Amino acid sequence: MNYKKLSTTNILKVYNWLLIDQCYLCHAPSSKTLCSFCSSGFHYNRLACPLCQRPIKQFDDAICGQCQVSAPPYDVCLAPLCFEGLTQHLIHAIKFQQQAQFIRPLIQLLCEALNEHYGATHAWPTQIIFVPSHPTRIKERGFCQTQKMASELYQTLLLQLGQQAPHYSKQSPIKKTSNTPAQHTLSKKKRIENQKGVYCVEGGIAAHVALFDDVMTSGSTLESCTKLLKKAGAKQVDIWVIARTPDKSN
Ligand SMILES: [Zn+2]
Ligand SMILES: [Zn+2]
């Protein structure tokens, strides 16, 4: 018997049956990662400030109040989903219940937004850098969710873009130097104070980088990391996040 042939064809059949022809969330037959029913359950961040992607209520391209007062230090911000409903549920399940299987559908949705933005008109960044959790939190949870997500993001872009895919290292050049209270428990002012001296950058930084995080809340973490990356040599920093929350004060 030709075991080689048997194993590869059977494994491929099982793989196709398990993963490719099913929706990742509800397991209904689907040629895409998500069936149309599950895709419709996400709240897309369509009404947002063009600079910082903060969800806004107007139906025009109005820049939000905060960006009018002071423009963000990053150059591009892409945040396809609102942090609520199904998105919030899946990200919490990944973070607190180790349900890593939900990373793929969220990263697929982010990649769709990235392809729509960069397409043939904008140059892709040449390096993906993720915002890491503190070593203590990683130890508590057993993994760093942003690193897992960034790895999935890199693998997906590698399949789509081949040689054009940005470089990626599992060791983020951004290091967290002190443990801080969870950002969502603090006011905007406290959050900014809280960021001072929390992160540092070690290692080579490309001229055009993509800075990845799972959720963008006030934006203060990503703003301080952008400033550090620019100090370390980046000329352009593009923010890539799965979801954006509106400010508490909005
Ligand atoms: Zn589904
Ligand atoms: Zn804004």
Ligand at shortest distance from the CA of 24: 1
Domain membership flag for residue 249: no
- Are 60 and 18 in a shared domain? no
Give residue 31's pLDDT.
84
Give the type of residue at 245: T
Q: Count how many domains the chain has.
A: 2
Q: Is the pLDDT of residue 19 over 80?
A: no
CA of 60 to the centre of ligand 2 (A): 13
Kindly write down the DSSP assignment for every residue of 95-156, as one continuous string.
HHH--GGGHHHHHHHHHHHHHHHHTTTSPPPSEEEE-PPPHHHHHHHSS-HHHHHHHHHHHH
Q: Return the structure tokens found at 182.
A: 């969870």
User: Same domain, yes or no, for 16 and 73?
Assistant: no
Query: In this predicted structure, what is the pLDDT of residue 11?
Result: 59
Same domain, 148 and 176: yes
Q: What is the mean pLDDT of residues 202-229?
A: 95
Which run of H or E residues covers position 34?
A: none
235 and 135 assigned to the same domain = yes
Does residue 174 contact residue 199 with C-beta atoms inside 8 Å? Answer: yes
32 & 122 share domain = no
Q: How far is the CA of 153 from the centre of ligand 1 (A)?
A: 21
**pLDDT at site 13:** 58
Kindly report, residue by residue over 89-147, the tens digit of the pLDDT.
999 999 988 899 999 999 999 999 999 999 878 999 999 999 998 777 788 888 889 99
What CATH number did the domain enclosing 206 receive?
A: 3.40.50
Q: Is the pLDDT of residue 250 over 50?
A: no
Within this chain, do residues 33 and 46 fall inside the same structural domain, yes or no? no
Q: pLDDT over 90 for what percent of the chain?
A: 54
118 with 69, same domain? yes
Residues with CB under 5 A from ligand 1 (ion): 23, 25-26, 28, 35, 38
Same domain, 200 and 222: yes
In a domain, 224, yes or no: yes
Q: State whether 167 and 114 are in the same domain.
A: yes
Do residue 77 and residue 28 come from a single domain?
A: no
Q: Which domain holds residue 36?
A: 1-40
Give percent of the chain above pLDDT 70: 81
**250 found inside a domain:** no
Statement to judge: residues 136 and 198 lie in one domain: yes
Cα–Cα distance measured from residue 64 to residue 87, given in angstroms and rounded to the nearest whole number: 23
Q: How many CA atoms lie within 13 A of 228 on its CB side?
A: 23
**CA 250–ligand 1 middle distance (angstroms):** 33
180 assigned to some structural domain: yes
Same domain for 21 and 79, yes or no, is no
> Could you read off the pLDDT of 27-66 as tens digits, one per residue?
898 888 888 899 889 999 988 999 999 988 766 668 988 9
Nearest listed ligand to the Cα of residue 35 = 1
Domain assignment present for 171: yes
Asked if residue 143 is part of any domain, the answer here is yes
Q: Does 196 fall in a domain?
A: yes
In a domain, 182, yes or no: yes
